[in-house]
Structure 1
Amino acid sequence: MTLRPRRLTLSIALLLSVAAGLSACAKAVPLAEPSAAGPSNTGGLVLSSGFSDAGQLGRSAPTGIRTSFGPVVDRNGANLVGVIGLAAGEQHSLALMQDGRVLAWGANEDAQLGNGTRAASLVPVPVRAPDGAPGTLTGVVDIAADSNTSVALRKDGTVVVWGRANSGQRGNADTTANPTTPSVVLNPTATGPLTGVRAISADGGSELALTDRGTVLGWGNNEYGQLGSSAPVVAKLPVPVTGRGKAPLTGVRAIAIGGQHSVALLGDGRVVTWGRNDVHQLGDGTGTNRNIPAEVLVAPGKPLTGATEISSAEKHTLALLKDGSVVGWGHNNGGQLGNGTVKVQPFATPVHGSRSEPKLLAVQHIMAGESYSVAVLQNGEILTWGANGRGQLATGDRLDRSKPGPVTVENGVPEPSWVTAVGVGRRHVLIALR
C-alpha cells in the first residue's frame, strides 16, 4: 500500500528551563521533564524519517529511505514507547527511556550501540553497563551522539561513552582500546570519574561537558582547536576550555559542538565560538581557525546578544533569541540557515518565516542537523528546512528547501498531542510523542 503523507502539527510539552546546546547528530532534546512513574504503555511513541541504510530508522524502509514520519518498532514488533529523550549519529539512533535506561539501534561496527557486539541491529537493544559491570546502563538523564560515538550523562553527574575510540573520545586515557561496551569518562587527573557535569555535547571525535560551576571541559580530537588552547592535539582525558591568558571559560549556560568547532552560550545571552572556521562556522566574520573563544557577531564589531539556546551541526550553528526568533551562521549549501538562499553566512543572520516573513518567530526550540535544521514553535508546529536528499526533512518528498516548512506523517499514524523529544542524525530525524 502506498502511504500518503499528511501535514503534521505537533503540540509540545513544557521545555526544560535551561536547555543545553547541541551539535548536529549530537544531543538528546528532552522537551518534557522525565516522569518518575516509569515507562508508559501509550506515552513516548517514537517516529522517524530519512535515511536507513543501516537500520537507523528502526522500522521498515524497503528503498532505504522514508520521507514522512512513521513509528519505530521495538524488539517485540510493537511501536516503541516510553521514550523521553532521543539522539542520533551517522547511522545509529539512541532512545532514553523513562526508567533511565538507553536503547540503541542501527550500525554498530564501532560498537556505537554499546550492547557488547559489533553487529548492527534493526530493532532497539539495551546499552550495557560501563566498564564490565553486569546488567544495563541505568540512571541516565541525557544522551548525545554523532558519527559512530555515543555519550550518556547520568544523574550522579558522571559521563559514559561508547563507540569509536580512535582519537581519545572515550576520555579515559586510552586511545587504543575500543571495547564493545561503554566506559566511564575520567577526571583530568585520571584519579576517578569525571563528576559535576550537567550537560554534554558530542562531535564524534570530540566531546564537551558543561559543569555545575559553569565551566567547560573537552576531550578527544583537538586538531582545529575545538577543545581550546590548553588541550593537546589529542586529549585522552578532559581538559578545561580556556580563554585568553589561559583563564578558564566561565559563566557558560549551554554548550554545542559540531564539525570540529565549539559553541558556548553565556549567561548574559552572548555566544562564543572556537575551533574550525573554513566556512565561517565561528560566526565572527572571518574564515580563520582559532582555539580561543570569541564572540559571534551579527555585523562587524556588533556582538550577537539575547540568545537563550544554541544548536550546532557539521558546519552551521543556530541560536534561539529571547524574542522567539532564530539566527544562523556558517555553511548553507542545503539552505540549512533558512534565509531563502544557499550562500555561506559569516555573521549571525535571521532565519526567515515559512512564508514571506523576514523572520521566523514564536520559536520554542531549535535543532541543527547536518545540512538541515529543525524548529518547534510555541504553538506546537514543527518546521524543517535545508538538505533533504534522504527524506530527513519529513516533507513527503526529497526536495531541499531554504526556508522553514511543515512536516508530514504517514497514513495511519495518529495525530499526536505533543512532542516530548527530538533527535537529529546525519540523514535521519527522530521525534517522540506523548
Structure 2
Amino acid sequence: TNPLLRGGVPASETVDGFTLSPTKGPANTAGTHTTITPPSPPTSGITFTQVSAGGAHSLAIGSDGNTYAWGFNINGQLGDGTSIGSNVPVRVRTPAGVRFTQVSAGYDHSLAIGDDGHAYSWGQDEYGQLGDGTRDYHPTPVRVTDPAPNTTWKTISAGHSYSLAIDNHGHAYSWGRNQVGQLGNGSYDRYSPYPYLTPARVIDPAPNTTWTAISAGDYHALAIDSDGHAYGWGSSSFGELGDGSSNTQSLTPVRVTDPAPNTTWKSVSAGEWHSLAIDGNGHAYGWGYNNWGQVGNGNTGTNQNTPARVIDPAPGTTWTTISAGHRHSLAIDNQGHAYSWGNNRFGQLGDNSNTDRNTPVPVDDLRRITVTGITLDRSDATPAPAWNTGSHTWDTTAPAHPDGQVTANIHWTLGGQPQPDYPLTYTYTYTHQYTLPKAGSIPIQRLSGGTLLLLTTLTTLTTTAHQLTRRNRHPARHIQPTA
C-alpha cells in the first residue's frame, strides 16, 4: 500500500489507499461509470485534549503532554520565546518539570494552570493582565502571583487585557484592565486602567458563595456558582449580562435571568459583546449583541438582553461544550460534532464559506477526504467526481483512451487542504472491442482465418437456431392409444 500524505509529509501510519471499480472499460469510448472508494481518514500521532481560541492566536494541550500554540505572536503570546508568528503549532516553553493541564488564550496574552497547581501567564502585560506584579511583557510563561500562601488554582480564563481565575477553595479572582468593571471588584478605572497587577477577590453576590466556572470576555465576565446559578459583571452595553439590562454596566456580579423556573447552568462563555451558556438539560442559550447572528436564535440585528434558546440543528440535539468568540460562536453536540454560527467574514465558522449564519451550521470535518478529480493516463475524468451518500464513494465516468493499461491519479484534499496525487499504477485497463463487419462492407479476402472461423461458427449456430425454431413451431403430434 501507499501511505497517504498530508501536506507532503507521510502520515504517521500506513493506511489502505483509494480503490477503483470497475478496473477496466472499453477503449476509445468515454462514459464508463467509475466508482472511487476513499480510505478511512488518517489520524495524527498527536491529538489535542484541550484547545482555546484567543484574539488572533490559539493554544492547545497535546496528547503527548506538551502545550502548543499558533497564530499572531507580536506580544509573545505563543510562549515559544519569540515574537514571530506561526501558522502551524509550535511548542510553548513550559517551566522546567511542569506540564500544563489547562490553557486559555486571551486577546493578546495567555494563561495556563500547571500540574503543580500554580497559574502561569505570558504575552502582553500592558495592563497587568499577566498577574505577576509587573507590566512587562513575557514571551515565555511566568508564575502568576498567589493571593495567599499555598494557593492552587482550578480554573483560569483570559479576556481582553484582563484575567479571571477560581482557586481551590472556589473563590474567584481577577486582575488586569478594569475600565468598565469587568474585574468584578466593585470599582472601575476608566482613566487609570492598570492598577490591578496581581489577583484580587471578585465580590461575592452572597455570603459563602463559591464558584465552579468562570469566563472572561472582552468587556464582561460570566461565572456559575455552586448552586448552578449564572452571574455576569462588567459591560452590558448590548444586554450581554443577561439580566434584562442594556446600555449600562455592573461592577459586581448580577444574576443572569433564568429562561425557565429552576434552571441550572453547566457552562458559560463570554465573547466580545455576547454570551453563551449550556443549561442542565444540555440546551444552549445565547444573549447580547446579535448583529451577525452570533446569539444563534435565528435572528440577526436584534440584540437579546436575556437568554434565548439557540436553535438546534436537529431534533433532540444536546450540547456538551460551547464557546463565544469575538463575533461568532462554536459548540460541540453530544455526538462530538462541531457547529458554528455568527460572523464569518474571515471563514471563522469553518463551513467552507464566508456567509454569516444566525443558526448553527456544521463545521467542516478536518479529517474529511474529498476526491476532487481523477486522471487516467493524461486524460481527466468528467464530470468531476460526485459524492454518493448511500455508498460513501465518489462517482465519475472514465474518459476515452486507446486500449492498454494506464495509471489512475486521484486528486484529493484532506480537511479542505490539497494533498499530493494518489497514484494507482497501471490499475485501469482499456480493452479493445471487436465487432463483426456488416455484410458486404469488407471484402472476403481481407478477413483472417480466425475471422472466417468465427463467421462459420456463427453461421452454424444461426442455422441450428433457425431449425430449432421451426421445429418448435410444428411440434410432433402424439396419437392417443384407443381403449
The TM-score range, normalised by the shorter chain, is 0.5 to 0.7
Q: Offset of 1:81 from its aligned partner?
A: 3.5
CA distance in 2, matches of 1:211, 1:405: 43
Match of 2:288 among 259, 275, 282: 275
TM-score between the two structures when normalised by the length of structure 1: 0.68
Q: Distance in 1 between matches of 2:263 and 2:251?
A: 22
Spell out, residue by residue over 1:357-406, the C-alpha distance to the aligned partner (whole angstroms, 9 max, x if none).
79xxxxxxxxxxxxxxxxxxxxxxxxxxxxxxxxxxxxxxxxxx996769
Match of 1:10 in 2: 46
Match of 2:337 in 1: 325
For the residue of structure 1 that corresponds to 2:354, the secondary structure is coil
Q: Is the 8 A contact 2:158 2:164 kept in 1?
A: yes
Q: Aligned pair count?
A: 330
Aligned ranges 1:208-227 → 2 under 5 Å: 208-227=222-241
2:160 pairs, out of 125, 130, 147, with 147
Report the counterpart of residue 335 of structure 1 in structure 2: 347
1:55 aligned residue (67, 76, 83)? 76
For the residues of structure 2 that align with 1:157 and 1:105, how far apart are their CA atoms? 24
**SS of the residue 1:234 aligns to:** strand
What is the TM-score with the length of structure 2 in the denominator? Answer: 0.61
What is the distance in 2 between the residues matched to 1:147 and 1:28? 16
Q: Structure 1 residues 277 and 81 mapped into 2: Cα distance closer, same or farther (>3 Å)?
A: same
Q: What does 1:69-80 correspond to in 2, within 5 Å?
A: 69-74=89-94
* Partner of residue 28, structure 2: none
1:349 to 345, 352, 361: 361
Alignment-mate amino acid for residue 236 of structure 1 = L
Give secondary structure in 2 for the equivalent of 1:182: strand
Rounded Cα–Cα distance in structure 1 between residues aligned with 2:358 and 2:253 = 30
The C-alpha deviation readout for 1:88-131, integer Å capped at 9, x for no partner, is 2122111211121111111111000111111112222111123x
Say what the alpha-carbon RMSD is for the aligned residues: 3.4
The within-5 A match list for 1:80-229 is 81-130=98-147, 138-176=151-189, 178-188=195-205, 195-229=209-243
Q: CA deviation at 1:242?
A: 0.8
- Secondary structure of the 1:124 match is strand
2:269–2:275: 8 Å Cα contact kept in structure 1?
yes
8 Å Cα contact 1:23-1:314 kept in structure 2 = no
State the match for 2:20 in structure 1. none
The 1:223–1:253 alpha-carbon spacing in structure 2 relative to 1, beyond 3 Å, is: same
Correspondence 1:66 to 2:86: yes
1:265 equivalenced with 2:285 (yes/no)? no
How far 1:356 moved relative to its partner? 5.7
- Report the counterpart of residue 362 of structure 1 in structure 2: none
Question: How far did residue 45 of structure 1 move?
Answer: 2.5
Equivalents in 2 of 1:144, 1:152: separation in Å? Answer: 6
Q: 1:68 to 1:27 in 2, by over 3 A?
A: closer
Look up the equivalent residue of 2:321 and give its one-letter code. Answer: E
Choose between structure 1 and 2: higher helix proportion: 2
How far off its partner does 1:12 sit?
5.7
Deviation of residue 280 (structure 1)? 0.5
Q: 1:74/1:319 Cα in 2 relative to 1: closer, same or farther (>3 Å)?
A: closer
Q: How far apart, CA to CA, are the structure 1 residues paired with 2:204 and 2:163?
A: 19
In the other structure, the counterpart of 1:431 is none
Of 263, 276, 286, the match for 2:299: 286
Q: Hey, what's the Cα distance between the residues in 1 that align with 2:88 and 2:61?
A: 21
- Does the 8 Å CA contact 1:46/1:81 hold for their aligned counterparts? no
How far the C-alpha of 1:337 sits from its partner, in A, is 1.5
Q: How far, CA to CA, are the matches of 1:306 and 1:357 in structure 2? A: 27
Structure 1 residues 220 and 22, CA gap change in structure 2 (3 angstroms): farther
Larger radius of gyration: 2
Equivalent residues in 2 for 1:410-425, closer than 5 Å: none
| Preserved contact between residue 342 and residue 402 of structure 1 (Cα < 8 Å) | no
1:404 and 1:196 map into 2 onto residues whose CA distance is: 45
The 1:237–1:402 alpha-carbon spacing in structure 2 relative to 1, beyond 3 Å, is farther
Partner of 1:415: none
Aligned partner letter, 1:257? A
- CA deviations over 1:143-179 (Å, ceiling 9, x no partner): 1102111111112111111111111111111113732
8 Å CA contact 2:118–2:144 kept in 1: the answer is yes
Residues 24 and 125 (structure 1), Cα distance of their counterparts in 2 relative to 1, 3 Å cut: closer
Q: How does 1:372-383 map to 2 (within 5 A)?
A: none
Letter in 2 for 1:286: N
1:23–1:311 CA contact under 8 A, matched in 2:
no
Gaps of 5+ in 1: 16-20, 33-42, 359-400, 407-434
**AA partner of residue 219 (structure 1):** W
Shift of 1:352: 2.5
